[in-house]
Structure 1
């Protein structure tokens, strides 16, 4: 089976990103930059496309690029415990954010409810509440 090579534009299309995303990942050392042959173009492989998809999937799960870099360093699959620890930290962070969002939701719901029952056309409870927090 022969290896297929991609130009940066073809790689971007294959991986579902734009060329600038690839260059950004290269600057962040998440993706290698192949050597440019004399009077030629750089060639990327399916492995590069898989790596980009790995990065994008990690981001969809809420991992930062630094966390994705940590996971990429474990990609040989023999470091499950370390990967689990990274994922566990992310899960704790997500739970904390969800709790924070619930508190925000309750506070905002109270403000909206207060505004709906407000018959005073001069003072808005939402604006007054926001002014108090400044």
Structure 2
């Protein structure tokens, strides 16, 4: 099948498929005489595996590791369990960060009722204040910003 068919069958964008090839997550497909990529069912299965991992917010490095275990089924799976445990710990940490962010935003929102002009807006006034890290060290600590800041 050509790349467009693979994309339709797996729900994955053509450019994403090419990206996974460049990252060597998907093996290079055969080529037709006209130099079109020709994919097999194994490519579709592997792409589904990768997409499932990405839906779980796994990094490319984590996916590489899981694919290695998938491709070499005689390896013990305790390392797979460890990888999932580590990923779960990362998710728990992100949840804590997001909860702290939510609380900060709720607190910020409570500073303004929307009745005054923006020159007297409590939100804008609060955002103009130094962060606690700035007050004590003179440096800004951006570690409070949640999100997928992991490598890969």
What TM-score comes out, normalization by structure 1 length? 0.84
Shift of 1:38: 3.9
In structure 2, what is the equivalent of residue 3 of structure 1?
A: none
Matched, 1:24 2:8: no
In structure 1, what is the equivalent of residue 42 of structure 2?
A: 47
Q: Deviations over 1:93-121 (max 9, x none)?
A: 111111011111111111112212x7654
Shift of 1:43: 2.2
> How do residues 1-134 of structure 1 correspond to structure 2 at under 5 angstroms?
6-39=1-34, 41-75=36-70, 76-77=72-73, 78-116=75-113, 121=117, 122-133=119-130
Distance 1:106 1:40, change over 3 A: closer
Q: Deviations over 1:40-69 (max 9, x none)?
A: 533211111011111111011110112111
Q: CA RMSD in A?
A: 2.0
Q: Which runs of 5+ in 1 are unaligned?
A: 1-5
What TM-score comes out, normalization by structure 2 length? 0.75
User: Structure 1 residue runs of 4+, over 3 Å off?
Assistant: 37-42, 76-79, 118-122
Q: Which runs of 5+ in 2 are unaligned?
A: 132-152
